[in-house]
Amino acid sequence: MEFNEIKSSEEAFIAGYGDGGFRMGESRFEGSMLITPNGFYPWAVTNKDAITVESLSPILEVAENVEILIIGMGEKMAFLDKTIRQKFGQNDIAIEVMDTGAAARTYNVLLQEGRKVTAALIAI
């Protein structure tokens, strides 16, 4: 798993999504991704059924710097397993679930507002 450190606020914004990946700053990355306050990671998740507490563990590792997790479920919104919500709730992290396009846009807005936001996005 290659970690890409965020060095500036511009690198933290999602500049584009679609065609199976994301553009962060000036760079394009293929596949799904996790975005933490420190940087972003490729994420092996390709569908909602693969989302687990374990797959989201890099976010729990920086829980003290996170207040909200935005999860992009792919092309369509889907429900999230309640055990994941419970685990993140125990760490005082709220979860919002939506389709990936809406999730990318919401993440950018919350980041611009200065919120402690992180994201887990299934590529579309």
pTM of the full structure: 0.91
Q: Dihedral sign, CA of 70, 74, 79, 82?
A: negative
Question: What integer pLDDT is reported at residue 1 of this predicted model?
Answer: 46
**Count of the separate structural domains present in the chain:** 1
User: Would you give per-residue pLDDT tens digits along the chain (124 residues)?
Assistant: 455 555 544 557 899 999 999 998 788 999 999 999 888 889 999 999 999 999 999 999 999 999 999 999 999 999 999 999 999 999 999 999 999 999 999 999 999 999 999 999 999 9
Question: What integer pLDDT is reported at residue 25 of this predicted model?
Answer: 78
- Burial class of residue 99 in the structure, from the number of CB atoms within 10 Å of its CB (0-12 exposed, 13-18 middle, 19+ buried): middle
In terms of residue numbers, what domain contains 31?
Answer: 4-121
Q: What is the CATH number of the domain that holds 79?
A: 3.40.1230.10
